[in-house]
Amino acid sequence: MQAFRNALQSKLSESVSVAGVTLARFIIASPIAGLYLWILYQINPVDSVSLSTGFIGFVSAAALMQIIATALMVKLFQLQNYAVGAGLAKSEAVMAALLGSWFFGSSLTALGWVGVLLGTIAVFILSGVKSVRQLNLPTVFLGLACGTAFALTSLWVREASIALQLPFPHSAAWVLWLVITLQTLILSGYVILTQPSTFRHLLKYKKITAAVSVTSCIGSIGWFSAMSLQHVAYVKTVGQIEVFFMLLVSLIFLKQKPKSQDAIGLILIALAAILVMLPH
């Protein structure tokens, strides 16, 4: 879903501002997430939810940090060597492992660490890095900052899900709905104040905007559910199979042939996913 969403966002960005494209991710995702939560309660009613101060703090921090991470990614778009920065931004798996073990009480096995590091190397290879000379301080800083921001977002999402003390998948569904709703309010307020005409542009391209929101929401249901069950670093490593679908979209729709380094990267991602999914 994330691979398709990225392709749709790329198409939408040809006619809509960066803020508008970002808002498209959430603009109708909140009602979809709310409907998903309602359906869960119809299938399996559980105890009423109790929103603690800690839970609200985790949700707010996750919502704001994801907006910051997205802004840093947009900044990476503007760099000449964007691919290198994007590769560094995908360091979120290893950053989640480090931050999780230091501050969030997560502990990975030796095999898990190998899988996380393999996945990070794979994404870096796929980004097209051929020489250390391609790296410069602004690119490295922005890429790592972006990866760290995405990692913190995911870690706080997991903490919020655990703090809610509800059974799976209800806990993840509550976190998803609240995070998306908060992000929609924040981004809508920003667009209203700075570029109100953006709403007209989104309405003009309503089919693509709706498709972006739907694919984004379905993808987020998967992310949030998985992160409520397992360490973020493992989830992000397995989630790097997104790259395979991105290459598939590129091959089928853009008619771009994969490079030899793409095959190497995909093999490493497959190995990384197998390692982190083995019983620990």
Fill in the amino acid letter for 175: V
Are 228 and 158 contacting, i.e. CB atoms less than 8 angstroms apart?
Answer: yes
Measured CA to CA, the distance from residue 128 to residue 115 in angstroms comes to 21
pLDDT given at position 182: 94
User: How confident is the model over 113-118, as a mean pLDDT?
Assistant: 78
pLDDT given at position 237: 79
Domain residue spans in the chain?
A: 1-277
CA 232 to chain centre: 11
pLDDT given at position 165: 84
Rounded alpha-carbon distances, angstroms, from residue 230 to 147, 157, 168, 200, 278: 19, 12, 12, 41, 13
pLDDT given at position 32: 95
Question: Which residue from 159, 174, 124, 151 is spatially nearest to 68, judged by alpha carbons?
Answer: 151
Is the pLDDT confidence value at 86 over 60? no
Is the pLDDT confidence value at 91 over 60? yes
Sign of the Cα pseudo-torsion (5, 13, 65, 245, in order): positive
Is the pLDDT confidence value at 151 over 70? yes
Q: Quick one: how many helices (H) and strands (E) in the chain?
A: 14, 0
Measured CA to CA, the distance from residue 163 to residue 252 in angstroms comes to 43
| Overall pTM > 0.85 | no
With bands split at pLDDT 50, 70 and 90, how would you rate the model's confidence at 253? low
Sign of the Cα pseudo-torsion (228, 216, 188, 30, in order): negative
Q: What is the mean pLDDT of the chain?
A: 81
198-221 pLDDT per residue, tens: 999 899 999 999 999 999 999 999
Question: Which residue from 61, 33, 39 is spatially nearest to 174, judged by alpha carbons?
Answer: 33
When mean pLDDT is compared over 86-90, 157-161, 238-242, the highest value belongs to 157-161
pLDDT given at position 118: 80
DSSP designation for 69: H
User: How confident is the model over 186-192, as a mean pLDDT?
Assistant: 91
Which of 216-225, 226-235, 260-269 comes out lowest in average pLDDT? 260-269
User: How confident is the model over 26-33, as a mean pLDDT?
Assistant: 91
CB contact burial 40-66 (16+ within 10 A = b; e otherwise): beeeeeeeeeeeeeebeebbebbbbbb
261-273 pLDDT per residue, tens: 666 777 777 777 7
Which one is predicted more confidently, 118 or 246? 118
pLDDT given at position 279: 64
49-72 pLDDT per residue, tens: 778 889 999 999 999 998 888 778
DSSP designation for 16: S
